[in-house]
Amino acid sequence: MKRIIVKNLNKEFKLNRKGGGSVLSHLLGTFSGGKSQKLRVADDLSFDAGAGENIGIIGRNGSGKSTLLRLIAGIYDSPKGSIKTEGSLVYLSGFGQGLQQLLSMRENIFLMGAMMGLSNSEIKEKFDEIVDFSGLKEFVDAKVFQFSSGMLTRLNFSVMIFCVKHQNPDILLLDEVFSAGADIDFQERAIVKMEELIHGGATVLLVSHNLKMIGKYCNRTIWLEKGKIRQMGNTDQVVEAYLQAASGRLNS
């Protein structure tokens, strides 16, 4: 069964250099002739992913990796071409988003759980596990704006991982989820939890700059460059070609 089918996918963002009224926008408008510019972020992309398949997505910053996941997740609309998905889908991006600074840790757990589709009773059922895994039990009623960046990482990841496991999605889109900013002990436990998800039978698209992670979890990889697929196939071969290209840029 094909869980994801992408055909001739194209997406552009319009960069309006004229509006805004600020001095900077006025200068930019003057230099560019006041015309809108278009940025192609997906350029005729086509691929598919089968049930239970893990596919890595690599490329330099700005190559279109995150954009591709957001298009598949439906976060960006009106692309040209087609995207078909079969089954439930969850998109996760990093560990620093979604928390409301003026709410307590307890309130954030319930809010984020609800935003991820869990009922109030389901969140209550998972609440103690989330708190225990985060290691922040003594701060459960503290406001999140008082948390350090490492504490925010712990809380955000803990909520997301237990909510996603409860949902048991058919498709999992992971955007740099291994870039946790917490301490080494928590990072190791977080990776174990992520491995449980990745090996849980879902179709996984994994965007990462960590090529060791790509090699460990993905048997097929897509290398994006300027919105185009430069190479797609066996992970070892694609990663080797990518590293050779990077070495060539450094030596040129």
Locate tokens 């398949």: which residue?
53
The answer, yes or no, to whether residue 180 has pLDDT greater than 90, is no
For position 252, what pLDDT does the model report?
A: 59
Burial of 216 (0-12, 13-18, 19+ CB in 10 A): middle
Q: What percentage of the chain exceeds 90 in pLDDT?
A: 54
If pLDDT is split at 50, 70 and 90, which confidence band does 69 have? very high
Q: How confident is the model at residue 79 (pLDDT cuts 50, 70, 90)?
A: confident
pTM: 0.82
Stretch 200-226: mean pLDDT, rounded?
A: 93
Residue 107: pLDDT over 80: yes
- In 3D space, the residue among 135, 131, 115, 214 whose CA is nearest the CA of residue 174 turns out to be 214
Q: For 30-61, how does the pLDDT look when each residue is reduced to its tens digit (9 = 90+)?
A: 555 556 678 888 999 999 999 999 999 999 99
Q: In degrees rounded to 5, what are phi and psi of residue 210?
A: -85, 95
Q: Which residue has the tokens 């449980």?
A: 196
Q: What is the pLDDT of residues 115-167, one digit of tens each?
A: 888 899 999 999 999 999 999 999 999 999 999 888 888 898 899 888 888 88
- Identify the structural domains of the chain with CATH numbers, from first to last: 51-251 (3.40.50.300)
pLDDT mean over 213-233? 95
Q: How far apart are CA 48 and CA 6, in angstroms?
A: 6
Parallel, antiparallel, or unpaired for β 2-15 and 37-50? antiparallel
More confident site: 241 or 161: 241
What would you report as the CA-atom Rg of the chain, rounded to the nearest whole angstrom? Answer: 20
4 confidence band (pLDDT: 50, 70, 90): very high
Look at residues 39, 10, 59 and name the one whose alpha carbon lies nearest to residue 206.
59
With cut-offs at 50, 70 and 90, classify the pLDDT of residue 192: confident
pLDDT higher than threshold 90 for residue 87: yes
Average pLDDT, the chain: 86
